[in-house]
Structure 1
C-alpha cells in the first residue's frame, strides 16, 4: 500500500503517473487518508477493466457522486439511462454524420478565428484557455442546439463549466468527506450548475413545446423515447445536452490550451507544423478537404493528447469480487484508471515526458512493434469510449490550421506549466497569448 495523500493533493495527475512508474505498471493500492483505491495503469489491466470485464466495473460510488448534480443520468453514468442515451446520441457523432456538417463547421471556425483581428489591432493579449473554450462552444452550439441557443447565452455555458470543473475536483479528490460538511468549491460549483441550468432549461422547454425535424441533438432528443418507450422529459434532455456538450467541447478546448505552451517550448515542432499548414492550406481558408494532407498536424494533436488527456481520472467500482494482475479486488472496491499515468509508462513509451509527435508518424508503431491498444486511450475505451472523438478529429485540426494560417502566436505566461486541480486536465496557470497577423510577420513562428 502506498501512502499517497500529500503528493496527490499537491499535483494529482503527476502523482498518479509517479506512483504508476514506481510500481512498474502493477496494480497498487493508494492510501488517501481514509480512502484506499486501487491504481490500475498497465494496458493489460486497463483493457480488462474498461473492455473485457467492463460490466463488473461500474461508473458509480464516491468519485462519481459530485458529477451527478452537473450531468444527471445520461452518457456519463451506467445502467439503462446510459444505454438509452448512448443509443440515441451515437448516430449524431459518427464519422459519416460529422462529415455532413464539416463544411459548416469549417465556416464557423474561420469566422470565429477572424474575430481575433480585433485583438491584433488593439495589441491585446488573450486568455488562451478561455478563447479555445469559446471557439469550441460556438461550433458545438450548431451540432447540439441547431442555433436554438443564441451566441450570447451559449458563451455563458463555457465559464460555468470551467468553474464547475475546478470546483468539483475538491469533492472528487476528497470523496470521503460527508456532504453535510462544506468544503472549498461547493458554493462555486452549485452556482455554476445553476448558471448552466438557467441557459439550457428554457431552450429545452421551448424545443419540447415546438418540436421539429432538425438533425441537431436537441431536436433528436425531443423526438426520442426512454427505455420505457415514453418521450424524454425535460430533465433527461437537459442531462443529455449538458453531458454531450462537455464531452464534445471540453476535451478539445483542453487539448488546444495545452498545445500553445508545448509549441512554445519546442520551436522545431512549431516550425514544421507551420510549414505544413502554409504548404497545404496556403492563403485560403481551411476546408475539410485539407484535413487528409495535414498529417503532421494530426501527429502533433495525438502527442498532445498523449501527454495531457483531458479525462485524466476514470474511476470505477467493482460490482463483484475479481482479480486483476494477481491482485484480489473485493466487491465495492474503487479502482482508479488514469490515461495520464498509463500514457507515460516507460515500458510502453520511450522518453515519456518528452513532447515528440514523431511517435505517431505513419508506420512508426509497426516498425517498433505494435503498440498495445490500451497504452494510448485518451478517449477512454470499451463501450464507454467518448462520443466526441470523431468530432475532435475534424474540429481540432480545423482550428489549429485556421489560427496558424492567419496568426503568429506567442505565449506570454512564464512556464513551466503544471497540471491543475480540475476535473478535466487544464493547466494550473493561465495561458496568456499575444499575436500578430501572419501577413505582417511571416518570419515569426511562435
Structure 2
C-alpha cells in the first residue's frame, strides 16, 4: 500500500478562495459571518478570514467594480462571491496579481461543476486591463466610494457633519488590538510592555491599564494571558467599568453580559456582588470561561433581563450596566457583514428594544443608585435620542457627568478604539 501523500503545510490559495466564496455567499444570503467562519477548517481559516473580511468590508466597491464586466447580474451567488474576494485581493496585493487570478480560476474549477471557470478568468483579466476606468466609474457611487450602504452614509452625515468621513473611513479599516491589564495582578502598564517587547511584540500604553499592540497577534503569544494577567478588550469598551463607579460590597447587575469583558473588568476593579445575565446560554458560557481564566466569580443566569419575574430576587441593585443590543455601527470594522445585513428599519427596531430594556431595568435600581447605558453604536436614535426619551419618561432619573462635565460620552471609531456611547443615570433618592 503506497504511503499517503503528506498534507501541505500551507493549503493552496484556490481552496481558500473557494471556501471564502462560500462564506461570503452565505453572508450575502443573510447569515452571520462569525458563525460561518467557525465551520472553516483550521488550516484554511487565516486565509479565508482575510479574504472574507476584506471582500465584505469593501463589498459596495467590489460590486460596483464588477458590474460593468458582467453582461447581466450573476445568479450563481458563490461565483459572484468568488469574484468579490478575487477583486479584493487584486487591490490589496497588486504585486501578486498573477497568483490571484490563477488561483481564483482554479477555485472556479472546484465550484458549480466548473461551469464558470472561463467566465472568472475573463472577468478578472478584463478587470486588470480596465482597472483605472473601472475605479473612476465606481467612485461615482457613494456606496462604492465610502463602502457603506447609502442609508447608512446619510445617517452618519446628518449626525456628524464634521466627522462623517472619518467615521466611514474607520469603518472600512482593520480594528486595533488592545489589551486590558488585570489590575489585581499587574498595576503598571510599562512593566507588561517590557514583557511584550521581550516576546517580540511592539506596543504602547494608552492609559494605566490599556495597551495598544502595534499589530494583532494570537492570544497564545501574549505572556500571562492564560493565567489571567491580561485580557483582550477594546479601549472604548474599557471605559464602562470606570464610568459605572462600582464600590466594594455593592450589588451590581450586568444585564446583557456576554461575552463578559465588561463583567470581568468590573470585578477586577472592585469586590462586588455581581449578577451577570444573558438571554443566550451558549454566550453566557463564554462569560464563565473568561471569569474562570481570570480567577473571578459572579452569579451567572441565562435569562432575559426584561423578564424580571423569572430571575430577580426583589433586592435592588446599587449599580446596573445596561450594555444593550444595538446596530453595532461603531464596531462595524470588526463585523463587516453588519453593514450589508442591516436595514434602515433595523435601527428603529433596536431603539424600541432598548427602550423596553431601560424601563425594565429602572425598576431594579435602588434609590441613589446609578445605571450606565452603553451601546457600540454611532446612530443617534440608539444613543442621545434614546436617553432623552428615557429621562422624559422617568421624573426620578438624573443624568450625571461622564467626562468634562458632559452628560454623555460619544466615542467615534479611531485608530485607538471603536465607537461607543455612554451615559450615566442616577435614580433620585
Calculate the TM-score normalised by the size of structure 2.
Answer: 0.26
| Greater fraction of residues in helix | 1
Calculate the TM-score normalised by the size of structure 1.
Answer: 0.25
Which one scores higher on RCO, CA 8 angstroms, separation ≥ 6? 1
| Greater fraction of residues in strand | 2
